[in-house]
Every structure is written in structure tokens, then in C-alpha cells.
Amino acid sequence: MESLHSVPRMDLKNLISRIELAASLGVEPQTIAKWQRLGLMPQPKECLSDRLILYDREEVRRAIERRKALRRRRVAPVRRGE
């Protein structure tokens, strides 16, 4: 039988929960789940329960930077007749 001391621990410093992530972006946790399904957010690193879903902070940061870069490249449509 393994002791509790020999079980590897998770590095929680580099992980952020879906709830924390949603709060920091000003959206609902369901929005983060939708963005994940659409491929706009990375897959979670750990799913400890239905409510505790953890993402890698660095992967999330890169995903957000990619979205910002794409948004900057958009050009407003030219309206005719104005």
C-alpha cells in the first residue's frame, strides 16, 4: 500500500480553474466551455469533478493572445452610400 507522501502532487501554481478564468475574463464558466469546444481555448489539464476543471495558465494565456491578434487584423467593412 502506498503512503500519501509518495503520491505525486499537482502543481496548482500553474493551473487556473474554469470559474476563476471566467471571472477574470468577465464571462460565465459555460462560455469558457463553449470556447473550448470551438477550439478557442485549450483542453483542460485536470478534471477533478464536474465543477473543478483546471487549465494550464500558460496555454490559456497563449490562446487569449492568439484571439487578440486575430481581432486586431480584422478590418471594418466599407459602407457604401455614406
Instruction: Work out the pLDDT band at 26, boundaries 50, 70, 90.
Output: very high
Q: Give the contacts of 12 (CB within 8 A, at least 6 positions apart).
A: 54
Confidence of residue 4 (pLDDT cuts 50, 70, 90): low
Strands annotated E in the chain:
15-17, 46-47, 53-56
Nine-digit cell string for 3: 503512503
Indicate left, alpha or beta for 81 from its phi (over 0: left) and psi (-120 to 50: alpha).
left
Domains of the chain: 9-71 (1.10.10.10)
Q: How many CB atoms lie within 10 A of CB 73?
A: 7
Q: What is the pLDDT of residue 2?
A: 54
Give tens-digit pLDDT for 34-60.
999 999 999 999 998 888 999 999 999
